[in-house]
Structure 1
Amino acid sequence: MNTPALAPHESMELHEALNFKTLCLAKSKLMQGLVFDQELKALMQKDVIQSTQQIAELQAIYARAPFQAPHSFNAISP
């Protein structure tokens, strides 16, 4: 089954959601080291697991975006 490509505005909104979710994941991972309450730490770990799964789902949808970044590795010189 062919899945339709995303419209440009949908791609941008998805990109924003993916960035937000990635930042939330990073914050949850970093803050776990500062938390001493075990219940809160367990909730934060659950958030990390769920966020990782959600990011993977968003990335799968984002693959249908109508544009892609150019892959020119030769453009960067050491």
Structure 2
Amino acid sequence: MSEPQPLAAHESLEIHEMLNFKTLCLAKSKLMQGLVFDRDLKALMEKDVRQSLQAIEALKAVYARAPFQTAVPENRPTPILNGR
């Protein structure tokens, strides 16, 4: 198998925008879990968090081929539980 080609500049920007969007979605789902009391909705949000984390890891692997990069934060927001 050959080495993957580096991304073009416009592809790098698109991947960066997708990473930003998925990170924002992840943060929102994690933060909103503390405000949700419906079990089904909370389970759906937890599923969204797991899928978002997987998507972010996949996007980061593609983003590594960008000719220029900015750091992808490793810190992830934690849900607010019981007012903490």
TM-score range, shorter chain: 0.7 to 0.9
| CA RMSD between the two structures | 0.8
Deviation at 1:67, TM superposition (A): 1.4
Report the CA distance between 1:3 and its aligned residue.
0.6
The gaps in structure 2 that reach 5 residues or longer are: 71-84
Instruction: Describe how 1:58-73 pairs up with structure 2 within 5 A.
Output: 58-69=59-70
Give the percent of matched residue pairs that are identical in Structure 1 and Structure 2. 71
Query: Structure 1: where are the runs of 5+ without partners?
Result: 70-78
The size of the alignment, in residue pairs, is 69
Corresponding letter in the other structure for 1:5: P
- Which structure is larger by alpha-carbon Rg, 1 or 2? 1
Written as runs of structure 1 = structure 2, the 5 A alignment for 1:1-78 is 1-69=2-70
- Equivalent residue letter for 2:60: Q
**TM-score, normalised on structure 1?**
0.85
